[in-house]
Structure 1
Amino acid sequence: MNARKTLVGILAAAIAFTAIPAQALELHGYLRSGIGGNEKSGNQVCFGTAPLNYKFRLGNECETYGELEFSQVLYKDRSGVQFSYVGMLAYKTGGMRDAEYLNGVDKWIPDNDGNWFPAARRVPGTDFLLRQNYVQATGIPFLGGASVWAGSRYFHRNDLHILDFYYWDPSGPGAGVEDIDLAGFAKLAVSVFQSKGGWGTGYTGNDKLSVWRPDIRVYGIPFFGGGSLEVGLDLNIMSGQNTAIGSQADSQHVSPMVTVQHVQSGLLGGFNKLAFQWGQGTIAPLSRMPEPQNTKDAKHWRIVEQLVAQPNDRFSGMLAVVYEDSSMQYGGEDMYNSFRSLSAGVRPVWNVMDYFKLQAEVGYQSFKPKNQGSLPNKDRGDLWKFTIAPTIAPLPSPGGSFFTRPELRLFATYAAWNKAEANYLQNYNSVVWFAGPNGNGPASVYGDQRHGLTFGAQVETWF
């Protein structure tokens, strides 16, 4: 009898841990693309403030950008253990012709020996990127519900959609453990990322300098009123020296960034997020891109507020506010390094009828240098932007209509700026209009004017 029970137990365990056949490859992705022009003739022009890496985006994106994500279950058994692979390719183009070189090379030419090599000429605004490439294991019995991963991945990214701004994003090559249960109180994720090379004059690897980027966060902490808190500590730890950027005797070799974020779900049919971030030293830009030359004098703090509302089936919208105060964020004292800025805007959406909605976006951005230096003044530069966009889209999803995609839009965008902003643009290239089709550089089409109008059509989708 005992032998029979033992045999049955062995067979049951064998069946439980027998691998289930791998599932089909899954495809996910993102796309935005369009066409446009401006009232003075020529291509679409996009409006933003150069020290900031974000702008109000509706009717204000001048490039084609896409991501293709492939996921595949590599192993799965009946006990719930699963190993999965995720890979993502991304591309960015200027939308200049029906076929564009994603590798950035316009043509190949022969040398004197008849060997062919890429010409030293790039197609402007064109990139082909590997954004994710990792394996994750879930359901491991001794991990108690946590999962482990290694590779290069998007990791717990927090973004502000209408600004296309990823304000808390440690993504990159790394490894870690996430969803560690803290006795039911909250969850913990501990990861380590690495940045190597890419400083100085080149963007190749450098075995003399590595920046380790631990990311420790506790999330899902209960808060009164039904909300939750997320608290994170990110570090930049320098290892070695990069001679391409000069002496680093005064560099801050261990630099901290602290984030505290409150999340309130179910507010006005949507959600609210309020985040405070502070960083010093090599992590002062508050991004995943270290600045190894920075000393402890480099400091940066910001407040990010966003509200998504869905009061009824017909109306939805998003409010966004970002305030930043930066001092020597890239090591220098000019206007790109030390400034105060405010971005505030709203995008209301009205579902006029099935499959048709009307969107608008009103945005304001200001920029004020802290240090006058060689500037004739340090007055605050102001930029206002207004967009109207009639849109064809699917019926609203059960969670609301604001994030329902795909969207096929017509748009008209009007922007105006004050004298100080125009002065920074003309003389110091401080305020940049991201001109199409290449998506970079000042839009000289407006000269010394203080307003402009652009128009076009765009598609945006994710799946």
Structure 2
Amino acid sequence: MKKVSAIAAAVAATLAAGSAFAVDFNGYFRAGTGISGNGEADVSFMKNGIGRLGNENDNYYEIGLAEDLKTGDQTWRIESMIAQGNDGAAGWEDGDFNVAQFAVKAKGLIASDKDATMWAGKTYYQRKDIHITDFYFLNTSGTGGGIENLSVGNQKLSLALIQDGEDDNGSGYIFDARLANIGLWENATLELAAAYNFSTEKDDKTIDGDDGILATAIVHQGLSNGFNQTVLQYGTAGYGVQAANFWGAGAYYDRSGLQNDATGYRLINWGVMNLGESWEMGHQLAYLAGSDIGYTGGQGDSDQFSVVVRPMYKWNDTMRTVFEAGYNAGENEKGEDFGGHKFTVAQAWAMGDSFWARPELRVYGSYITDEEGTTFGDKGDSDFVFGIQAEAWW
């Protein structure tokens, strides 16, 4: 018992010497309920393609705690996060809690490059997302390690090795390399990323799926009234299907072998801009296409496009009216047409007048149509949803 007490005292003394115990409490959540015309509650349909506002049917929570421990010029950051999601149908719901993050990130270990950060553990790794469609176009998060923001001239290099699944046949991994802060023209930068997904086989076992590469180029343009990004991605094998078909992020790799011949790409433009004193708008434009897509029982070509706009009128520093319209259509690898559209009006109140201001309370009405399927009854049927939702990040 004395040995344990001595260790505890030593740890407490070390923490007290390097920190003022200013714990960083951070997180995200969304929660709400709705009433739909077909007798269901909330509805979620093609939200990556037609927009998420008034088109979500789940509650989702992330609770994070982090601490910076300083010693000299070094900062050792301990990050943790618990995440959980459910359908929000009852006051008490069972659900799996996931340790979404638990990592150590150390800055200042390289004397000649103070901004370089070495890390290991489980982390959200430099995720790239479009908020209005809840679409992560690059997300290789997981358990691993690496170095971030290593100076290469004026650019910043990041390298990581992250595990991506394991089964009876072997294990999957992602080698992620990124070069950021490549100067272009005024207020414009380029970021390049390559995720290489590979596997190792156990003795006397075979993994049928080929390795895949997801290459990404992001041009970020700063504007006087906001920003704009243009994204080009190209994928092979399992990453080809993710790029072309189901709005994949670079993880959850399929190693069945059905996708070995697949190639896919997508071109995305998105951003947020002020349109005068009272108006602000976010948008997503996307085109996705692929060939030899082995997915959902088909083995052919596919393509689709998406248009989503979210204009917002600010009545004052707290109250705003938000509109969102979206359209997504195309042809899948089986030669089948699909399509849907949505229009939402939401009256909202937020802590500030920015497009990004949160927490936000909103009351909304959405009209959603499945043009080619039977999601809402007969083919081409629509549904109307009235709901209330809260969203926050901090």
Name the CA distance, whole Å, in 1 between partners of 2:67 and 2:135: 29
Match of 1:357 among 313, 320, 345: 320
TM-score normalised by L of structure 1: 0.75
Match in the other structure for 2:364:
411
1:133-152 matches, within 5 Å, as 133-142=102-111, 144-145=113-114, 146-152=116-122
Amino acid at match of 1:36: G
Name the CA distance, whole Å, in 1 between partners of 2:64 and 2:293: 33
Match in the other structure for 2:51:
56
> Closer, same or farther in 2 for the Cα pair 1:450/1:241, shift >3 Å?
farther
Name the CA distance, whole Å, in 1 between partners of 2:218 and 2:324: 25
Higher share in strand: 2
1:209-224 matches, within 5 Å, as 209-224=170-185
> Would you say 1:41 and 2:39 are equivalent positions?
yes
Match of 1:88 among 81, 101, 111: 81
> Closer, same or farther in 2 for the Cα pair 1:448/1:257, shift >3 Å?
closer
Shift of 1:207: 5.8
> Would you say 1:450 and 2:381 are equivalent positions?
yes
Match of 1:388 among 325, 339, 345: 345
Match in the other structure for 2:195:
234
In the alignment, is the contact (CA less than 8 A) between 1:54 and 1:164 conserved in 2?
no
Name the CA distance, whole Å, in 2 between partners of 1:316 and 1:385: 20
Q: Secondary structure at the match of 2:111?
A: helix
Shift of 1:60: 0.6
Shift of 1:339: 2.1
In the alignment, is the contact (CA less than 8 A) between 1:276 and 1:303 conserved in 2?
yes
In the alignment, is the contact (CA less than 8 A) between 2:314 and 2:320 conserved in 1?
yes
Q: Secondary structure at the match of 1:97?
A: coil
Describe the superposition over 1:391-425 as per-residue Cα deviations: whole angstroms up to 9, x where unpaired.
111222xxxx110111110000002243xx12xx4
Query: What CA RMSD, in Å, does the superposition of the two structures yield over aligned residues?
Result: 2.3
In the alignment, is the contact (CA less than 8 A) between 2:50 and 2:341 conserved in 1?
no
> Would you say 1:157 and 2:127 are equivalent positions?
yes
Name the CA distance, whole Å, in 1 between partners of 2:101 and 2:254: 23
> Would you say 1:97 and 2:90 are equivalent positions?
yes
Name the CA distance, whole Å, in 2 between partners of 1:414 and 1:86: 41
Name the CA distance, whole Å, in 1 between partners of 2:165 and 2:317: 50
Match in the other structure for 1:179:
149
Name the CA distance, whole Å, in 1 between partners of 2:155 and 2:367: 46
Shift of 1:296: 3.8
Describe the superposition over 1:70-110 as per-residue Cα deviations: whole angstroms up to 9, x where unpaired.
1012x312x3201111111111111111111234xxxxxxx
Match of 1:76 among 61, 64, 70: 70
Name the CA distance, whole Å, in 1 between partners of 2:296 and 2:325: 33
Name the CA distance, whole Å, in 2 between partners of 1:371 and 1:21: 58
In the alignment, is the contact (CA less than 8 A) between 1:283 and 1:289 conserved in 2?
no
Q: Secondary structure at the match of 1:324?
A: strand
5+ residue gaps in structure 2? 1-15, 244-249
In the alignment, is the contact (CA less than 8 A) between 1:186 and 1:220 conserved in 2?
yes
Q: Secondary structure at the match of 1:45?
A: coil
Shift of 1:24: 2.2
Name the CA distance, whole Å, in 1 between partners of 2:95 and 2:87: 10
Match in the other structure for 1:434:
none
Describe the superposition over 1:34-54 as per-residue Cα deviations: whole angstroms up to 9, x where unpaired.
1101124342223227xxx66
> Would you say 1:299 and 2:268 are equivalent positions?
no
How many residue pairs get aligned? The number is 370
Q: Bigger radius of gyration, 1 or 2?
A: 1
Match in the other structure for 1:193:
162
Q: Secondary structure at the match of 1:224?
A: coil
Describe the superposition over 1:278-336 as per-residue Cα deviations: whole angstroms up to 9, x where unpaired.
1112333242122222354121211111021024442111010121113355556528x
In the alignment, is the contact (CA less than 8 A) between 2:148 and 2:159 conserved in 1?
yes
Q: Secondary structure at the match of 1:37?
A: strand
In the alignment, is the contact (CA less than 8 A) between 1:55 and 1:164 conserved in 2?
no
Higher relative contact order (CA 8 A, sep 6+): 1
Amino acid at match of 1:61: E
Name the CA distance, whole Å, in 1 between partners of 2:387 and 2:297: 39
Match of 1:257 among 198, 202, 214: 214
Match in the other structure for 2:229:
273
Match in the other structure for 2:393:
462
Shift of 1:338: 4.5
In the alignment, is the contact (CA less than 8 A) between 1:387 and 1:414 conserved in 2?
yes
